[in-house]
Amino acid sequence: MKILIVNGPNLNLLGKREPGIYGNRTFEDYLAGLRNEFPNVVIDYFQSNIEGEIVNALQAADDGSYAGVVLNAGAYTHTSIAIADAIGGISVPVVEVHISCILSREPFRHVSLIAPKCAGSVMGFGLQSYKLGVLSIVSK
């Protein structure tokens, strides 16, 4: 089984950016542990600060080789109709994840444009949100 994790803008700064919200661990460090927890799952990873590259990654994941995509679209969650349309246009299930609980943050973060197109959403569990997203795909 293969799963793709896609991270959006500024998530390359994990470990440095707002540690009170996002913690002080890099995603690469977390990803190594996540891969160890799921030894029978190939977990590919892609990160981009560019909206169109995220759209391209989602479309490429619909090649029949992935069981699902775990997507943290970052701030594009609240602004990107293009990413929402890409999710709606592919057959591979996409699970939306967020490190923080977007519903307890600034009001503009309360609306997810991608959630209606996703198979489900996980938020507020720190980096463990990714593990829960992977578990939701593995268990189907």
The beta strands (E) that lie in 2-133 are given as: 2-7, 42-47, 68-72, 94-98, 120-123
Catalytic residue of the set 76, 98, 110, 130: 98
Residue 22 annotated as catalytic: yes
Tokens of 55: 């759209």
Residue 78 annotated as catalytic: no
Catalytic residue of the set 22, 30, 66, 130: 22
Amino acid at 12: N
How distant, in Å, are the alpha carbons of 27, 63, 93, 105, 136 from that of 90? 26, 9, 8, 30, 18
Instruction: Give the side-chain half-sphere CA count within 13 A for 3.
Output: 27
Is-contact 23 99, C-beta < 8 A? Answer: yes
The catalytic residues are 22, 98
